[in-house]
Amino acid sequence: MEFRQLITFRAVADHLSFTKTAEKLFMAQSSVSAQIKILEDELNTKLFDRIGRRVVLTQSGQKLYEYARRIEEMTHEIRSEISGSGYSEGTLTIRVPETLASVYMPEITARFHKTHPKVKLTFMNCTDRQLREELNSGRIDLAFLMTDSIYLKDVNVRLLKTETLVLAAGSSHPMAQSKTASLDIINGQTLLLPKTD
């Protein structure tokens, strides 16, 4: 298995098109197909299903994609360390609820990019369902949650802040006149809650 084959594989997985990948990598489409075939033969599994003109990742392809991403990131880190450029390179994949991201991430991202301009940040919405597996497999690097408490085996968990719970109501709603919201007042009301928080 060669690094260039993994790069080609990731490009096909990102574009879900052999034609677009060939254009992006300045290769013949037959070369792209040949590299994927070599990988599939070496791993003894199909990486893509071809459904008509569509290309989709198989389950094995999805697993390989995560390994290929991590290998590419490590390659960026090695280049950065060895060349002594002083800048970290690569990608940080972060799961964070949209509510937290909209409030805190703009300032944090701006500060982070001042000291690490070559690092790409990828944000994804967060649920606690598969966090342990995603963190331990390297699929994601970091996660933020809003929760009462959480324990994930083999995962370093830290409480960063306690947030005040706020209830918002339209100005014409009877609850808008109350300065506090007891459980008795909330009982029987329709509540809209963020899915992942």
**What's the confidence (pLDDT) of residue 136?**
75
Taking only the tens place, the pLDDT of each residue in 55-90 is 888 999 988 988 888 888 788 777 767 766 666 677
CATH class of 3-67: mainly alpha
Mean per-residue pLDDT, 109-116: 88
* Residues forming a β-bridge with 51: 54
Taking only the tens place, the pLDDT of each residue in 125-172 is 876 677 778 877 777 888 888 887 777 777 788 888 888 877 888 888
**Neighbour tally for 182: CB within 10 Å:** 8
Mean pLDDT for the chain overall: 83
3-class DSSP assignment, residue 2: coil
Give the integer Cα–Cα distance in Å for 124 and 141: 11
Determine what percent of the chain is predicted with pLDDT higher than 70: 93
* Widest distance between CA atoms in the chain: 69
For the ranges 4-8, 21-25, 55-59, 148-152, which has the lowest average pLDDT?
Answer: 148-152
**What's the confidence (pLDDT) of residue 128?**
67
Mean per-residue pLDDT, 106-117: 88
Taking only the tens place, the pLDDT of each residue in 35-47 is 899 999 999 999 9
**What's the confidence (pLDDT) of residue 2?**
84
Residues 6+ away with beta carbon under 8 Å from 169: 175, 176
**What's the confidence (pLDDT) of residue 60?**
92
Mean per-residue pLDDT, 104-108: 89
E strand map for 20-162: 48-51, 54-57, 90-95, 119-124, 142-143
